[in-house]
Structures are given as C-alpha cells and as structure tokens.
Amino acid sequence: MSDPEPCRIKQEDTEELIGVMVKEETEDEEKHHVKSEEETQSETEDSISMERTAVKGLTCTQCGKTFKNKHTLKSHMKTHTGGKPHHCTDCGESFMQSSFLQKHRKVYHNLVVKQEESEEPSDARKAYACSLCGKSFYRQFNLRQHQRIHTGEQPYTCAECGRSFKQLSNLKVHHKIHTGEKPNTCDQCGKTFSRLSSLQNHYRLHTKEKPFSCSLCTMRFAYKQSLQKHRLIHAGVKEFVCFGCKKTFLRAEDLKLHMRMHTGERPYKCSHCDKRFSRSECRNAHEKIHTGKATFTCTQCWKSFTQLGNLNAHMMIHNGEKKHKCDQCDKTFLRPSQLNIHLRRHTNEKPYSCSKCEKSFIRVGDLNRHQMVHIGVKKHACTKCEKTFVRVADLKRHQRTHSGEKPYKCSHCDKRFGDVQILKAHERIHTGEKPFTCTECGKSFTQLAHLKSHMLIHNREKTHKCDQCGKTFLRTSELKIHLRAHAVERS
C-alpha cells in the first residue's frame, strides 16, 4: 500500500510532463557544460540560499522546484505521483528509487540486489574508490560524501545556530526548524510536517499500516526504529547497568532515562506553566492539557485522555480485571507496575534516595513530594485560615476540612473520607490486610504510623522530652499525658 500524499498527478502523465520541459534544455546542458551538483554546493555552502543557485529551466509544475537534469526531475515527480515502482520480493515493501530498495534488502534481508535489477547501466564502472575502506562509487561527488564518514567533516553549517551537517540536504531540512516552515500537511487531521518522510510515517497512525516485521517472531511495527529496538530483545544483551539499583538495559538511552528517576532530573519544561518532566513525550502529553487537545476517548464513559497509554490504563477500570497477583499476600492489581511497587513493601526496597538527606522512598512520586520540604516554598495558601502548603494537592485536601467534603467512599461500607490515604487505611479493616511488617519480630500492621510506633519498642529510643522536668518518652502521646500532670500541679 503506497503512502497517501497531499497532492497527486497521474503516473502516466509524468513522462510527458518531463519530456516537454527538458526537450531543449538537455542540449543546452551538453553545450555549455552545466556545473555539477558538487560545484554548486561548494560555492554556496555558507548560506541556505544555495537552494536557488540551481540552473533554471527544469521546473516541477506542481511545486515550482527547479532541477539541473532530467533524471533528478523524474525522481522528484514521484513524490507528487506517489509512484513506488521498485518492490521488494521478500516482504512486498515498495520504494521510489532502486537505490532505496537495494539499501532495504541489504539491511533487512541481508541480500545484495543484482546488477540487472538496478537502474545503473550494465557497462557503468565504479571508477572512484575510497582509499580508507575500498568502497567504490560511480561519481566523484558520491565518493566525497562517503569520505566524510571517515573524516567526520561537516562542511554545511547553519547560520542560525551553528550546527553542522555532512550533506546539504540535511542542512536544508534543519533550516526549516528556524523558519517554522512545514509544507507537508496531513489531509486526515491537519497536522503539518517539515519533511515529507515525517508525513508519510505519520499517515501510518491513520492507516494502521505496519510494514516492518520481525523475522524472529510475529510482531510488526509501523516504524523502522521500533523494529530495531524490538530486535534488541531477541539479542538479549543488556550491557548498560545502573550503579544505583543494578538494573540493566539494552540501550544507553534507556539507562539515561532511568537514571533521572534516581537523580530527579527533569530537563523538559512545559511552555505553558512551570511544570517539568524527565521525558519529552510526558511534557508533550502534559501540554495538551493546556491546549485542550485530548485525542483519546473512552467508549464506555466518554472521558478523554492525552495519551493512549492512559486510556488503556483507564479501560481496566471498566473491565475490572486484576490479573497481577502478589505472591506474598495474594493482593491483586490492574497493572504490573502497581504490583512491582507493592512488592517493595514486602522487601522494604527503597530505590529513590533524597540528595539532601538520607531518607529513601519506595516510589519516585514520594521522593518528589519529599524534596519540596527542602525547597521550603509554600506558595499555595488557604483562603479560610491562611495556612500555606508546598503542593496544590495538599491545599485541596486541607480545604476539605473547612468544606466538610468527603468524596472517597468505602467499597465495603457507607463510610466516606476526605483523604484517599485514610480511605485505604480504613478499607484494610475490612480486608484484614496488614502490609507493614516489622523486620525485627515479624509483627504486621495496617498502617505505617502504627509500625513506626511499634519500632520504638525495639529501638528503645526516647526522643520526646518534657521541657518541664527533662523526662523522656517513646511516644508523643505519652509525653502529652505526662504534661497534664504538670498542669494539674500548677493549678
């Protein structure tokens, strides 16, 4: 299936259009020795305007772009017609140029296309050989481009940001980032792209096309990069190790993302508010909250989401299936991630450590909330009592003490609560669950606060001191009872 294009002309009209335009120009090129592409590029490598130095005359009637010879114009016209005459006999994928087919077969099928399948003339000789690796080329221009792989030369520099590129075409595409030019528009949703290839990849979201298949299993993918990442799973080599928790990863970029969970680094900032994120895709999804672009809708309750993953997670609420079971206490969960976090309560694993103090946490969200204590900025104030809070969630929870609102209802009885954590603690009375276990004696508790209070028995550390007589106590409650005795004495 060929990719849909914004504009199309009939394939059979292409040859006629080209023939009319180049009838006289080809003779002029031979007489006047038109400059080669390499010469034109070298004269204009310092400016993006080099695109306009091409010899005029061979002009595309669809977009106005000019070319120096019939062959390049013919190749360009295929972007409008959508013609992909070169087909892979192994997987059926089609390509605009035979060179693309050759590269595809070499990379994905470990095959080299025979000479007669190529558009190159059979008597052509690859006269230009690389002195470093021996690879040969038909044109000196292609050899020069290839040699930049060895030398690292990047002669084409962006005048806006100073970034350099090996090829002129890459600079032209990059320059559109600065100009904001996105000439390729999706006719399904209106989204625009700076590259035609990006638009073609985007179309697969609408068509559900998955042309890239894994040769080791039945999985298929819409993008080549997704297939390449998947193949690493079969290789099974996880050479990148986190020194914080010893977790291993297939790719260096996966380890880099994981490390941000330990460091708390959030390099991606929302352009609408001050919120920051560790991953760019999380930032992009968050920004849709500001723009109102919630593209994924639940068919059960019509609630909308900015990410497909969030919709899938939400759908489990309707399905009600909790297939992930804890082998320690038989508790079940909707998602494997929830089970993994729960298991840390049994193992007492706390992989997220605060860089300011020695405190550690089970979840990264708990660490992030704790770190706000060190920042000390309480910018969220209650309008009723002027009490301030670090987080807006804490302020909302506090405001329920004034309003009396109790939105959280127990699933076992009719009791309601203003705090979801209090609800969870209450429901353990019904279920009998005691997830907090003492490592010294094995006794279990329904609440973490009860475990902490119990641990004082083992530690015997009396940290609560009376300011009247200097006597110390294990618990705050014991100190309060003691202080009443002093109050009676004074009266």
Same fold for the domain at 327-457 and the one at 461-490?
Answer: yes
What's the pLDDT score for residue 110? Answer: 55
- Helix residue ranges, H only, 320-378: 336-347, 364-375
Cα 336 to Cα 314: distance, rounded to the nearest angstrom:
14
What's the pLDDT score for residue 125? Answer: 65
Q: Would you list the domain boundaries of the chain?
A: 327-457, 461-490
Q: Are 391 and 376 in contact (CB under 8 A)?
A: no
Question: Which range is most confident: 100-104, 205-209, 235-239?
Answer: 205-209
What's the pLDDT score for residue 45? Answer: 39
Express as a percent the part of the chain with pLDDT over 70: 81
Q: Roughly how many angstroms between the first and final C-alpha of the chain, as a whole number? A: 93
> Between residues 59 and 53, which one has the greater pLDDT?
59
Cα 449 to Cα 362: distance, rounded to the nearest angstrom:
16
Residue 86 in tokens: 């070169």
Pick the closest to residue 61 from 5, 2, 14, 3 (CA basis).
14
Q: Are 317 and 304 in contact (CB under 8 A)?
A: no
Give the phi and the psi of residue 304 in degrees, each rounded to 5.
-110, 150
Give the phi and the psi of residue 297 in degrees, each rounded to 5.
-120, 135
pLDDT, tens only, 403-418:
988 888 888 899 998 8
CATH number of 461-490: 3.30.160.60
Report which DSSP code applies to 169. Answer: H
Pick the closest to residue 262 from 356, 367, 370, 391 (CA basis).
367
pLDDT, tens only, 16-38:
444 434 334 444 444 334 333 44
- pLDDT-based confidence at residue 473 (cuts at 50, 70, 90): confident
* Mean pLDDT, range 337-366, rounded to an integer: 84
What's the pLDDT score for residue 107? Answer: 58
What's the pLDDT score for residue 294? Answer: 60
Pick the closest to residue 205 from 315, 296, 293 (CA basis).
296
> Between residues 377 and 418, which one has the greater pLDDT?
418
pLDDT, tens only, 138-182:
888 888 888 888 888 888 898 888 888 888 888 888 888 888 788
What's the pLDDT score for residue 95? Answer: 75
Q: Is the confidence at residue 401, as pLDDT, over 80?
A: yes
Least-confidence region, from 115-124, 230-239, 322-331: 115-124
Cα 57 to Cα 138: distance, rounded to the nearest angstrom:
26
What's the pLDDT score for residue 51? Answer: 37
pLDDT, tens only, 310-319:
787 777 777 7
What's the pLDDT score for residue 451? Answer: 84
What's the pLDDT score for residue 10? Answer: 42
**In terms of CATH architecture, what is 327-457?**
2-Layer Sandwich (3.30)
Give the phi and the psi of residue 443 in degrees, each rounded to 5.
-70, 140
| Neighbouring residues of 400: CB distance < 8 A, sequence distance ≥ 6 | 406, 407, 418, 419
- pLDDT-based confidence at residue 58 (cuts at 50, 70, 90): confident
Least-confidence region, from 47-56, 263-272, 373-382: 47-56
Residue 85 in tokens: 């005459």
Q: For the chain, how long is the longest CA-to-CA vector?
A: 118
Cα 351 to Cα 369: distance, rounded to the nearest angstrom:
15
* pLDDT, mean over the chain: 76
Say what the pTM is: 0.33
What's the pLDDT score for residue 293? Answer: 66
* Mean pLDDT, range 114-131, rounded to an integer: 58
